[in-house]
Amino acid sequence: MALDLTPEQKEVGKQNFHRVVGKLGKEGVPDGMSRRQFMRGLIAAGVAAPVTAAAYYGYQNNFRERPVKAGLIGSGDEGGVLVGEHNPAYVEFIAYSDIRPSNQARIFLDERDRNPNSPRRGFNFHYGNDAHRKIRLYDDYRQLLANPEIEMVVIALPLHLHAAATIAALEAGKHVLCEKLMAWNIRQCKDMIRAAERANRLLSIGHQRHYSMLYAQANEVVSSGVLGEVQHIRALWHRNNAVEIEDASGQVRYRDSWNPAIKPEDRDALAGRIRTLGYRSMEELVRWRLYKRTGGGLMAELGSHQLDACSIFLGKQRPIAVTAVGGKHFYPDNREVEDHVYCIYEFPGNNYDRSRGPDATNNDIVIVTYSSINTNNFERYGECIMGSKGTLVVEEEQSAMLYGPAAAQRGTAMTVTTAGGRPALDASDSTGPAARRDADAGQSALGVAAPSRGYREEMEHLAYCIRNRDQGMASDRERLQPRCGGRQAMADAIVALTANAAMNDPHNKRIVFQNDWFDPTKEAVPPVNLQVETV
């Protein structure tokens, strides 16, 4: 993401970020944000103790002996991440459902044997080698939903099934954490929100950046104003994981991670009844991301996360309009969805004049460009927020780097000053003992280990909300709701899917976002994925 930064410059940027976060947290620095009081206290006292996400987001395990009993629906790649990351003191899995024999078995296994960095630690890691005796398998997830012991379900199914499974779960009285993208179309998102309201159950959607301390801190830096006027954010997720394969005729073709091999045990068990399982073919089941009926392409899979982050950085604003280009530029023959996408979103700036309408020129807009490509990963992934007085780079959900606005400042140590009444980046006094204490405080606020991506916290928080929602005072209501609930996630889905509509328009037309699309009480939806195709 950070193009040609040297390792030394990266380290300077990280220290700048930690220092400014640490100093912004000190009492007396008007950061203009609702930062948790305890964190101010810790930092002001110079306590370099790690601040847990639980403390930061205001939840705790006050139900120690009564973890929320949960079922997992979809034990594939992401189901494995969520099982690996869950905290059994909050969430106890007692059942799961999948239709592929390979993944029914795989979910128990600790994949660190093969890859030491794998987050997939399996049920066995958490519940012991006899986990298969404690965690019941259901071939049909509707039977899992009939289990009265289960209070909450975690859904990690292919996109086209999110709405049906979520609504069935809510109607069965379960609270739901459903993976992103919320749904295949926006009508389904609205149905999911309404189902949660009717059932009086909590609905959380897995855009995990809402629970990432790194993003919370980056957001604090942006909203403190130290970046000055932000008119441009550049976000991208670039991959190049194709391997060459030769087909029977000797022609070279490519296969990437969205196009995995079909395992013999899955084919043997399911091929004969694949249509009764709701799929047109084994390929569609295993490679669901490649098909428009089952997936949503790069914008649903990758872009939605980063546009979600950008809208948070811009004060949870919705975009005004989007223009996009995309297509099958590299894999013409093995997929329906685009393999390269390039989008331009117009967001309202601080002084945006709404009365002039969405087509006015020279209004105060922030342009967010987003690209996701499949043929080069030189830049990998992240977001770069470019302000008139500073630059913030968030890289791969793992680190943040802060600089002045000019290339010449890439190696300059920075702190923050309030001399002019507002926080501003300042190169003086950035290396003394006080500055070092600020950097330590900022760094320790990220936690001891590598920053958590937020998966563990999104499950912990939902469990906390479930256990405490009946006791909560009115003032607690916000805290007792998922941080990425139905409305927020529907907005993320609208932002992602409308770009698909723009790039599929033969003239790549600019599409203006309509307020009613974002209102679950209204029927209006964006012009994309209107027709659900059944098998």
Site track for ligand NAD across 194-223, x = CB under 6 A: ------------x-x---------------
Dump the DSSP string for 457-482. Answer: HHHHHHHHHHHHTTT--GGGTTTTS-
Shortest Cβ 307–ligand NAD spacing (Å):
14
Shortest Cβ 75–ligand NAD spacing (Å):
6
CA distance 147 to 141: 10
Site track for ligand NAD across 23-62, x = CB under 6 A: ----------------------------------------
- Tell me whether residue 179 or residue 338 sits nearer to ligand NAD (CB atom): 179
Shortest Cβ 269–ligand NAD spacing (Å):
11
- Tell me whether residue 192 or residue 439 sits nearer to ligand NAD (CB atom): 192
Let me know: does 441 contact 22? Beta carbons within 8 Å.
yes
Mark the segment that binds ligand NAD (CB under 6 A) among 69-77, 109-117, 386-394, 474-482. Answer: 69-77
Q: What CA–CA distances, in Å, run from 461 to 177, 352, 465, 479? A: 11, 35, 6, 9
- Tell me whether residue 157 or residue 425 sits nearer to ligand NAD (CB atom): 157
- Tell me whether residue 169 or residue 441 sits nearer to ligand NAD (CB atom): 169
- Tell me whether residue 5 or residue 73 sits nearer to ligand NAD (CB atom): 73
Chain position carrying tokens 């609905």? 203
Let me know: does 447 contact 51? Beta carbons within 8 Å.
yes
CA distance 388 to 370: 20
Let me know: does 61 contact 39? Beta carbons within 8 Å.
no
Shortest Cβ 461–ligand NAD spacing (Å):
15
Dump the DSSP string for 73-88. Answer: E--SHHHHHHHHH--T
Q: What CA–CA distances, in Å, run from 199 to 167, 168, 194, 202, 474? A: 10, 11, 9, 9, 20
Q: Count H helices, E strands: the chain?
A: 18, 18
Shortest Cβ 237–ligand NAD spacing (Å):
11
Let me know: does 321 contact 296? Beta carbons within 8 Å.
no
Strands of the sheet with 203-205, listed across from one edge: 136-138, 91-97, 68-73, 152-155, 175-178, 203-205
Let me know: does 33 contact 117? Beta carbons within 8 Å.
no
Mark the segment that binds ligand NAD (CB under 6 A) among 111-119, 154-162, 222-230, 371-379. Answer: 154-162
Shortest Cβ 308–ligand NAD spacing (Å):
10
255 strand-pairing partners? 243
Site track for ligand NAD across 255-294, x = CB under 6 A: -----------------------x----------------
Q: What is the separation, in whole angstroms, between the first and last Cα of the chain?
A: 41
The residue count for binding ligand NAD (CB under 6 A) is 24
157, 192, 203, 489: which one binds ligand NAD (CB under 6 A): 157
Residue nearest to ligand NAD (CB): 76
Dump the DSSP string for 253-299. Answer: EEE-TTSPPPPHHHHHHHGGGTTTTT-SSHHHHHTGGG-TTT--HHI
Residue 218: both structure tokens together: 């980056």
Shortest Cβ 278–ligand NAD spacing (Å):
6
Mark the segment that binds ligand NAD (CB under 6 A) among 55-63, 124-132, 155-163, 376-384. Answer: 155-163
- Tell me whether residue 201 or residue 289 sits nearer to ligand NAD (CB atom): 289
Residue 221: both structure tokens together: 């830096």
- Tell me whether residue 185 or residue 208 sits nearer to ligand NAD (CB atom): 208
Shortest Cβ 475–ligand NAD spacing (Å):
30
Shortest Cβ 85–ligand NAD spacing (Å):
11
85, 220, 256, 301: which one binds ligand NAD (CB under 6 A): 301
Which of 460, 453, 461 has the alpha carbon at shortest distance from 478? Answer: 461
Site track for ligand NAD across 70-109, x = CB under 6 A: ---xxxxxxx-----------------xxxx--x------
Task: Count CA within 13 A, CB hemisphere, residue 246.
Answer: 3
Shortest Cβ 120–ligand NAD spacing (Å):
10
Which of 50, 30, 22 has the alpha carbon at shortest distance from 433? Answer: 22
CA distance 343 to 218: 23
Site track for ligand NAD across 102-141, x = CB under 6 A: -x-------------------------------------x
- Tell me whether residue 122 or residue 206 sits nearer to ligand NAD (CB atom): 206
CA distance 452 to 54: 12
Shortest Cβ 100–ligand NAD spacing (Å):
4
Shortest Cβ 147–ligand NAD spacing (Å):
15
- Tell me whether residue 13 or residue 76 sits nearer to ligand NAD (CB atom): 76
Chain position carrying tokens 């259901």? 138
159, 218, 320, 373: which one binds ligand NAD (CB under 6 A): 159
Shortest Cβ 97–ligand NAD spacing (Å):
5
Q: Answer yes or no whether residue 179 interacts with ligand NAD by CB under 6 A.
A: yes
- Tell me whether residue 26 or residue 120 sits nearer to ligand NAD (CB atom): 120
Which of 207, 199, 117, 150 has the alpha carbon at shortest distance from 461? Answer: 207
* Residues of the shown chain interacting with ligand NAD in the complex, contacts defined by CB under 6 A: 73-79, 97-100, 103, 141, 156-159, 161, 179-180, 206, 208, 278, 301
